[in-house]
């Protein structure tokens, strides 16, 4: 009995000693993460996050620390709460616009029935043009606001990526994946320049031209400008699809080459260190430990950047999606009673909002996948 008790006590002491050692190693690992993070310029990213998302109070350094420790920095409930708040906010914001459109549609329908008694006169057409002009002003004002939100979101994504690039480059260099990091830096800088030019000179002007031409084309009973609006819509969509395909293709090709070069170089250094007499094994173990810690930090920086990209794009995407669904719903509701030109006008407005939604989504997804591909490239 005494031997059994003594064995239990010895076992407990060993467990306590091991747990203490594990905690000490975890504390040392956290200290290594903090030391590496001090080398990164995280404050510039934090300042930008505070500027872009002042109401959310996100801490990028704390987010990376939690990721390094295997914790989830933001829960799913946080994203759900943000989506719900944005959804109800936009519904409340668009309520006045939707009510105005419905009133105008009903008014135009009543005018049409009432003025049909004046056969051969142009009073009916003049009344329609007056109501249509009011609808034109309301929709144009709504589009101006949504277009500003979309452009600001895409510019925010580009601004965030410009600041994330040097931080990720340094984190990847600490993990001894310089070739991958340099290739990512150069290619992504080029992508940012291309995306900024496409957004500034193709996407936003193209969508604005689409709205103006579509609304002017719906003034007449015959859709004389339907082919032109379809062409502009296709150009915008093709531009987005081409841009996304090229970016993913370039990053995938880069992923196949640069990580192999980094792995070969690191293997040579580790084997060379291990070949040193007496201290070779110790040096090799220390090198692998430091590289492993730096690799975890690199992945944490990449994952944190991906989370912030989602956060930057989520609220505008929800707002645009709500507006798109509302315009589609209004178009379906007024179709039985309203003039077909009213219905076409609102349909075209919904298409324009859909293009804005697609542009923001493609921009966010493009850089999200870019970070994901490069983060997983170095192992």
8 A C-beta contact, residue 122 and residue 355: no
What percent of the chain stands above pLDDT 70? 72
Give the pLDDT mean for 271-293: 54
Helical axes 340-377 vs 123-174, angle rounded to 10° = 0
Please give the tally of structural domains in the chain.
1
- Does residue 327 fall inside a structural domain? yes
List phi, psi (to 5°) of 349.
-65, -40
8 A C-beta contact, residue 154 and residue 274: no
Highest mean pLDDT among 9-23, 244-258, 318-332 belongs to 318-332
> In this model, does residue 352 exceed pLDDT 90?
yes
Closest CA to 322 of 89, 163, 37, 153: 89
Mean pLDDT for all residues in the chain: 77
Q: What is the pLDDT of residue 147?
A: 93
End-to-end CA distance of the chain: 53
Number of H helices and E strands in the chain, helices first, is 10, 0
Q: What is the pLDDT of residue 179?
A: 57
8 A C-beta contact, residue 373 and residue 250: no
Give the pLDDT mean for 62-66: 83
Closest CA to 270 of 260, 257, 285, 259: 285
> In this model, does residue 226 exceed pLDDT 90?
no
> In this model, does residue 279 exceed pLDDT 50?
no
- Does residue 20 fall inside a structural domain? no
Lowest mean pLDDT among 93-97, 228-232, 309-313: 93-97
Give the pLDDT mean for 99-121: 72
- Does residue 13 fall inside a structural domain? no
> In this model, does residue 213 exceed pLDDT 70?
yes
Closest CA to 126 of 141, 139, 108, 140: 108
- Does residue 285 fall inside a structural domain? yes
215 or 353: whose pLDDT is higher? 353
pTM of the model as a whole: 0.82
Token code pair at residue 71: 């914790």
Centre a 10 Å sphere on the Cβ of residue 41 and count the other Cβ atoms it contains.
Answer: 11
- Does residue 19 fall inside a structural domain? no
8 A C-beta contact, residue 128 and residue 338: no
Token code pair at residue 78: 């946080």
- Does residue 347 fall inside a structural domain? yes
Domain that holds residue 248: 76-377
Lowest mean pLDDT among 4-18, 197-211, 327-341: 4-18
What percent of the chain stands above pLDDT 90? 15
**Euclidean distance between CA atoms 48 and 61, whole angstroms:** 13
Give the pLDDT mean for 112-128: 66
> In this model, does residue 10 exceed pLDDT 70?
no
- Does residue 256 fall inside a structural domain? yes
DSSP state of 200: I
Q: What angle do CA 34, 38, 40 make, to 5 degrees?
A: 120
The 10 Å CB-count burial string (b at 16+, else e) for 318-357 is bbbbbbbebbbebbebbeeebbebbbbbbbbbbbbbbbbb
Burial class (CB in 10 A: 0-12, 13-18, 19+), 66: middle
């Amino acid at each position: 009995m005494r031997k059994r008790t003594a064995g239990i006590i010895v076992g407990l002491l060993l467990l306590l000693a091991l747990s203490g050692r594990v905690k000490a190693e975890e504390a040392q690992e956290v200290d290594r993460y903090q030391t590496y993070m001090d080398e990164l310029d995280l404050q510039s990213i934090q300042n930008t996050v505070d500027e872009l998302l002042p109401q959310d109070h996100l801490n990028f350094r704390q987010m990376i620390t939690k990721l390094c420790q295997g914790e989830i920095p933001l829960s799913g409930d946080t994203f759900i709460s943000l989506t719900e708040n944005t959804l109800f906010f936009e519904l409340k914001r668009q309520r006045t616009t939707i009510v105005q459109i419905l009133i105008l549609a009903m008014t135009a329908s009543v005018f049409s029935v009432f003025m049909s008694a004046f056969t051969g006169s142009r009073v009916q057409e003049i009344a329609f043009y007056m109501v249509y002009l009011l609808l034109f002003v309301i929709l144009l004002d709504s589009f101006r606001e949504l277009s500003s939100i979309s452009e600001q979101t895409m510019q925010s994504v580009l601004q965030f990526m410009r600041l994330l690039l040097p931080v990720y480059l340094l984190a990847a260099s600490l993990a001894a994946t310089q070739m991958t990091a340099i290739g990512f830096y150069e290619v992504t800088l080029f992508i940012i320049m291309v995306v900024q030019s496409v957004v500034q000179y193709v996407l936003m002007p193209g969508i604005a031209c689409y709205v103006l031409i579509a609304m002017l084309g719906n003034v007449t009973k015959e859709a004389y400008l339907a082919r032109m609006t379809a062409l502009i819509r296709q150009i915008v969509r093709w531009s987005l699809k081409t841009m996304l395909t090229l970016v993913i293709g370039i990053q995938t090709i880069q992923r196949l080459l640069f990580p192999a070069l980094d792995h070969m170089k690191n293997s040579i250094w580790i084997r060379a260190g291990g070949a040193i007499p007496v201290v070779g094994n110790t040096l090799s173990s220390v090198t692998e430990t430091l590289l492993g810690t730096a690799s975890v930090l690199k992945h944490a920086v990449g994952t944190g950047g991906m989370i912030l990209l989602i956060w930057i794009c989520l609220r505008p995407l929800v707002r645009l999606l709500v507006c798109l669904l509302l315009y589609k719903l209004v178009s379906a509701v007024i179709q039985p009673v309203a003039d077909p030109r009213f219905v076409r006008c609102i349909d075209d407005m919904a298409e324009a909002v859909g293009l804005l939604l697609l542009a923001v989504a493609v921009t966010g997804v493009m850089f999200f996948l870019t970070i994901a591909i490069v983060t997983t490239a170095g192992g």
